[in-house]
Amino acid sequence: MPDQRVAVYLDFDNIVMSWYDRVHGRNSYSRDRQRIAESPDDPEIVERLSAATIDVGAIIDFAASFGTLVLTRAYADWSSPVNAVYRSQLVARAVDLVQLFPAAAYAKNGADIRLAVDTVEDMFRLPDLTHVVIVAGDSDYVPLAQRCKRLGRFVVGVGVAGSTAKSLAAACDQFDAYDALPGVKMPAAAKAEAPTRSRSRKKTVDPEAELLDRALRLESDKEGGDWQHASAVKSLIRRLDPAFSEKALGFKSFTDFVKAHPSIAEVDESTNIVLIRLIPAQR
């Protein structure tokens, strides 16, 4: 199997602002923007920024799990204090810092256009790229994700829960919440605000159960049997919903997720290969 080669593109302003809102509440960054720019040393601002610190290493390590990192670029106004504190960490991880001047950084499509142009150029310049990781949550990246897929790349999206457009998650081959990446610690303030995909939702709405049911039916029809490999069912679920993550839902494993839906499926762990099937009443 040939080595998988990965390119990573971070809309750093987007992820910093989104995580700040995730920790401190919706639209918090917009309300604090002027104070952050004018008084970055204010003790209250320092404390709020510290609580919403981005774990750069967690993002880079996650991207590296897909293969060799060929290039990694982060787009932001690096003269801004909120971004400048990350420069040494990013440079230490061999991340290229792309400067967006203030007028572009705060404009609607400042990072979007530059990042998209660079990504498409890189795909033609480096034809051996197999994976493209886009760290952002803006729906403006949907055409980019679709173009990358048409050019034969596996597209991975990473965004903050609650701040990512559903259309972007659907446009990727796989989408993971930054909140659920290995190593990311959820501040107490963020934990208090329920994520968009949570086990604490009302019992009357359980799209994950519907997704499991649909995947099992599709896999059973394709394979012509009742019992299916758990890994195959999980892969199908990820194709149906690239944003699906059992860990983001609070489960340690996919098997635990299935076991939490006894009205939908049953699990056979009698061998080394975990099998699952729809319970008879559901067939």
The pLDDT of residue 81 = 84
Asked if 243 contacts 137 with a C-beta cutoff of 8 angstroms, the reply is: no
| pTM of the shown model | 0.76
Residue 173: its pLDDT value, please? 93
As a whole-number percent, the residues of the chain with pLDDT over 90 amount to 53
What is the C-alpha separation between 154 and 150, in angstroms, rounded?
10
Cβ atoms 74, 98 nearer than 8 A: yes
Whole-number pLDDT of residue 194: 42
Residues of the chain with pLDDT under 70: 1-2, 102-110, 188-205, 281-283
- Strand pairing partners for 276? 228, 267
Q: What are phi and psi of 42, to 5 degrees?
A: -60, 125
Report the first-to-last Cα separation within the chain, whole angstroms.
Answer: 38
| pLDDT value of residue 196 | 44
Q: List, in order, residues 6 or more apart from 257 with CB less than 8 Å away.
A: 208, 212, 246, 249, 251
Domains of the chain in sequence order: 5-192 (3.40.50.1010), 207-282 (3.30.420.610)
Mean pLDDT of the chain: 86
pLDDT tens string 126-170: 999 999 999 999 899 999 999 999 999 999 999 998 888 999 999
Residue 169 neighbours by CB under 8 Å, 6+ apart: 157, 159, 175, 241, 242, 243
| Residue owning tokens 């952002």 | 136
Report the amino acid identity of residue 209.
Answer: A
Longest Cα pair distance anywhere in the chain, in angstroms? 65
